[in-house]
Chain A
Amino acid sequence: MLEDLREWIKEEASKCMFCGFCETVCPTIKFGPHRGYGPRGRVNIALYISEGGKYTEEALSSLYSCLLCAACTLKCPANIDIPEIVRASRVLYSEDSLKEAIVVEKKVS
């Protein structure tokens, strides 16, 4: 399951052409400290992680500062589902680092 998710992220995020068109409508990049607070950054950080990169501090701020507002999807020439990539990357983090499934099982039983 998780591997499928990782593969999906990799496939979807690889479509990115780094054109940056999505950045022009993203509400967070304007007030964030760097490119990671915009959709282009988020997609490519997700890609970095799906290829085995670490959830660094900046990777996490990039992924968790996303509003999932989907404004970026209006502009993306590659039709990338950017908010879904962000959500999926958050799931990976929860599963990898927070061991979400295990915690939930324990709590329920």
Chain B
Amino acid sequence: MEKDKIVRDISKLIGKDKVSGDEALLSIYSKDPLGNVGKALAVVFPEESKDVSRVVSYAYKNDIKIYAQGSSTSLAGSSLPKEPGIVISFERMKKVLEVSLVNSYVLVEPGIRIDDLNLELGSKGYMFPVDPASSSVATVGGAINSGAGGMRGAKYGTMRDWVLGLEIVLPDENGTIAFAGCKTLKCRQGYDLVRLIVGSEGTLALVTKAYLKITPLPETVIVALAFFPRLENLMEAVVDIKSQRVQPYILEFLEKRTAEVAAKSIGRSINIDGHMLLAGIDVNREAVDRYVEWIEKLLKEHGGKGIQTARSWQEAEERGLFDIRRSLFVAQSKMAREIYKNVNNAKIMLLIEDIAVPPSRLIEAVKGLKELEKKHGFVTMLGGHVGDGNLHPSIGFNMLDPEETKRAERWFEDLVDLAISLDGTVSSEHGIGITKKEALRRELEARGSLKLLEIMKDIKKVFDPKNILNPGKVV
């Protein structure tokens, strides 16, 4: 349908301040961090569930595609309006509607950013623990739909462990508003549709409200940073920590060269004596001394160098212990830009992957990645969450160079095979989107479970018979 008409129609339905067809504006709702460019025909800014329902119903009747967006930080192309369609941006629906400590939940609108939610919860001594590195930007709605995870994943899991109930709008004639799940922590409501929506990347329904589980902030967290010349030693240290009945709050890893680039990119002159391990352990205040001594000794015993410890999260912040780890993304992009500095006419595309392997196989994974680097000739940046075996290898390539693009594709294919061969998975938190559809197929095939892909496709049809919600993604 003609663009101007869509804008006019939607203005009539929900108000003219809530929709725009301005070309310049559309350009910033048609992009993502990977460098993809899509084609939004209109962008809609709902302010309440009813607005969403009306627009969905209109789109259903007129066969118009709908792309939900939170902050468009998806690293799998999930939020991109790939074909012409309406973008529904949830940025104005960002209220915290209820915080209930007695019920251990918070009720929020989907457009609130995770850090803003935590600012509010923090004042009450609570937190929402899922913390993707993008948590200052990413919205709750986007995190739910991409099934996001973060540094605290090993201890607290990912989005799928923290969503109790969802108000959703279904892509049918009426834009039906439904409520899936419960407000209670325990819930056996037939098939678990909440878990199905979590990670569905806006392909099944639109989320307009969410009941999320919350948890008390730890009393305090001690933090330790160390460098290990050999990866084996680093892993032994990790195993040692775990076998002493400690489940770390965070357990992060950066490969040596990546740590160097990261430190340099934020102007830190620190001696990087090997692969970096960053551990945080939540403890009671009285136990701080004992744990600090214990972890220091343990890290030393396994050959850790340049060990630094902090007696609280705040102290670690102040002393910059997190800085290098937090700069992984900076390092990844800086490295890529550095490489192409002298190439005229380069459009750099970053591949930031999120494979996971059982932690026991991390060493093999890192070795495998080194081999891929040699084989395909891409400088690979590498960091991740050792606690849960989730790795973020990344490369940059010039998407204007066909040969290089091909090579990058082959690197990715090999990466997928590597993850599968180590009993891992191709995506642990970013989602499938458009970039990992083939990888998903390969993973299921390798497990002899291709039938499940058919079931997934059927599920998509049941929810979205006209295929208007984020078409071409996931399955």
Contact = CB atoms under 8 A, between A and B. Distances in A.
Interface residues of B, number: 34
Given A19-B134, A78-B333, A53 B27 contact: yes
A77 B136 CA distance: 14
B330 interface: yes
B28 interface: yes
Interface in B91-143: 91-92, 113, 115, 134, 136-137
A24 B333 contact: no
Interface in A13-61: 14-15, 17-21, 23-24, 33-36, 40-41, 44-45, 48-49, 53-59
B32 A18 contact: yes
A12 B137 CA distance: 22
A56 B23 contact: yes
Given A15-B337, A18-B33, A53 B23 contact: yes
B136 A24 contact: yes
Nearest to B72: A18
A93 B334 CA distance: 31
A74 to B, nearest CB: 12
A49 to B, nearest CB: 7
Given A17-B350, A33-B45, A23 B24 contact: no
B137 A20 contact: yes
A77 B28 contact: no
B33 A17 contact: yes
Interface residues of A, number: 29
Given A18-B31, A48-B27, A33 B22 contact: no
Interface in B61-113: 71-73, 89, 91-92, 113
Nearest to B34: A18
Contacts of B286: none
A62 B43 CA distance: 16
A61 to B, nearest CB: 9
Contacts of A62: 24-25
Given A17-B350, A77-B333, A44 B28 contact: yes
B192 to A, nearest CB: 31
Nearest to A41: B28
B403 interface: no
B24 A53 contact: yes
A67 B330 CA distance: 26
Contacts of A19: 33, 73, 134, 137, 329
Contacts of B33: 17-19
B29 interface: yes
A56 B350 CA distance: 31
B22 A24 contact: no
Given A17-B33, A35-B89, A53-B24, A77 B113 contact: no
B309 interface: no
A53 B27 CA distance: 10
Given A17-B33, A20-B73, A23-B137, A34 B329 contact: no
A23 B43 CA distance: 19
Interface of A: 14-15, 17-21, 23-24, 33-36, 40-41, 44-45, 48-49, 53-59, 62, 77-78
11 contacts: A24-B113, A24-B115, A34-B45, A41-B28, A45-B24, A45-B25, A59-B24, A59-B25, A77-B330, A77-B334, A78-B333
Given A14-B347, A24-B136, A48-B27, 4 more contacts: A18-B72, A33-B45, A58-B25, A77-B333
